[in-house]
Structure 1
Amino acid sequence: MTTTSGTRRPGAVRERLRPGRLLPLGEARDGAWLAERAAREELLRGLSAVRGVVPGKLRVGLAEVGPETPFAVPPGGLPPGPLRITGEFAMEAGLAVDRPLPVVAEEVRGSLFATAERDLGLVIVAVDLRVTGFVEGSPDSKALTPPPGGTGPVVDDPVARAVLEVEGVAGLASVLGFPVRRTTGTLRLELAVARGHRALDVARAARTRAAATAPEVEEITVLVSEIR
């Protein structure tokens, strides 16, 4: 473990601006994926409640391959399976005396597990942490603020109109492509979830509404690319 000074590293900020991979959301039968960047932003938001912690790199990846999905995995997506969080954090030097690192690490781990399940619906089975050192002062609040989401594109499609009525859908999104992509027998939706709603529950409801609106479609998948 090395001791550092200053605030959040520029590299950690740049990492959070990359779209990242698509993470399987829920179980294989749910047909839903969540952009890693959106997941990272919510996980970091949860960590803001852990006193004295300065988050660094944070990645989410497969812990093991799960059962085969009945849906086509979208480009850039991970196949369904339980996930592992790998992260780094530093601690404010002034709080190290009364907050032992093992205790803080458990608080960080507990926060990540809770946010992933309660707010997102990601199946996390392990959290691996690395303590990078101590920093002087508090983290840069501007660096911890996620970039604002857009208003979303307007799409003249009956499925799009129906999905926009689902509680928790903040809008359609086009971060990963066209918001509603149709091919023969398949339909893929990309949407943003309103903060305060569990991403998995919203994706399930949106998929159910889309299936009711377009019963002729055999396969419907949902990509959550933003949480606003």
Structure 2
Amino acid sequence: MTVDRLARAVREQIAFGRVLPLGGAGDGVWITENAAADALRGAVAGLTGVRVGTLRIGPEAVAEPATHADTDTDAGGAPLVPVVPLVPLVPPSAVPYGPLCVAAAFEAAIDRPLPATAERLRTALWSAAHDLLGLAVTSVDLDVTGLMDPPAGPGALPGFDPAPAPVPALAAGEDPPPAGNGVVAAALLVPGVARVTSRLGGFASGLRTADGGDPPAREVRVQIAVVPGHRALDVARAVAAAVTAAAEPGSPGPVTTAVVVTAIG
């Protein structure tokens, strides 16, 4: 492997950011931090008096009881958050299953109460993380980095617009994921799947199938883009089920599937 190819692979992996867990450890579904952050930015783009800057998503340092709905709990009210992945085929740079935190820096309009602006942004980010993506977010940390003059006319203030990291293109001589075994075809038939993506940084193909182990088994990893308006977790779970069924014929044993959402749109 040449130094240039290694450097390109490292740049690709950095562009995608970390790989975040979706759902529970038994689901085997994931989303790249870059795709999740883009979706959250889009969800809050229409908020007036707010301009979001840096936005990161990562593991919650200390698990705390969630204050919003849609969190599974046991009989005593404590959140049930799996922390040990059960899927053998884990994507590169994957964050272990567990609670997540959204951390965002923002500027606020000077003519609006800052606490109210922060609460609107926090609620919008929380709702988007749960309702649009399905991330197990337990906290949203905000950092005010500046104040802005109110807009001259009606409508939202201009949003923070750093150039998004481009989706890495296939290098010369590389082919898109193979579809001969029907796995890709099965994924594409799931409602909400825009396409099967070609790469997840590093050197991994968009479709990876491996047989082996003791006892024998088959492991499959597939990467997808989700159509906007479809909840990423629901689509990824459906893809995992469809791909597992498609990969079972000829398998030397049980099939384990991991699905990674690398883009929304």
Fold match, TM over 0.5?
yes
The C-alpha deviation readout for 1:78-122, integer Å capped at 9, x for no partner, is 011110111100023xxx22x200000000000011001111010
| Secondary structure of 2:47 counterpart | coil
Map Cα deviations across residues 110-158 of structure 1 (whole Å, 9 max, x no partner). 00110011110101000111100113564257x2685787999463231
The one-letter code matched in structure 2 to 1:192 is A
Residues 1:102 and 2:115 aligned together: yes
1:14-53 → structure 2 map (5 Å cutoff)? 18-53=15-50
Shift in Å at residue 205 of structure 1?
0.4
Long gaps (5+) in structure 2:
1-13, 64-80, 152-156, 171-175, 212-217
Residues 167 and 28 of structure 1: is their aligned pair in 2 closer, same or farther, counting only changes over 3 Å? same
Q: Secondary structure at the match of 2:26?
A: helix
Q: Which moved more, 1:47-56 or 1:208-217?
A: 208-217
Q: Distance in 2 between matches of 1:150 and 1:168?
A: 22
* 1:188–1:220 CA contact under 8 A, matched in 2: yes
Q: Which residue number in structure 1 is paired with residue 206 of structure 2?
A: 179
Identity within the alignment, %: 38
Q: Cα distance, 1:74 vs. partner? A: 1.5
**Alignment size in residue pairs:** 207
In the TM superposition, what is the alpha-carbon distance from 1:179 to its structure 2 partner? 1.5
Q: CA RMSD in A?
A: 2.3
Point out the structure with max Rg over C-alpha: 2
Match of 2:178 among 144, 155, 178: 155
How far off its partner does 1:162 sit? 1.2
Residue in structure 2 matched with residue 168 of structure 1 by the alignment:
192
- After TM superposition, the score normalised by the length of structure 1 is 0.83
**Distance in 1 between the 2:242 and 2:49 partners?**
43
Q: CA deviation at 1:52?
A: 1.2
User: Comparing both structures, which one devotes a greater share of its residues to helix?
Assistant: 1
Distance (Å, rounded) in 2 between the aligned partners of 1:159 and 1:151 = 22
Alignment partner, residue 13 of structure 1: none
Alignment partner of 1:30: what SS?
Answer: coil
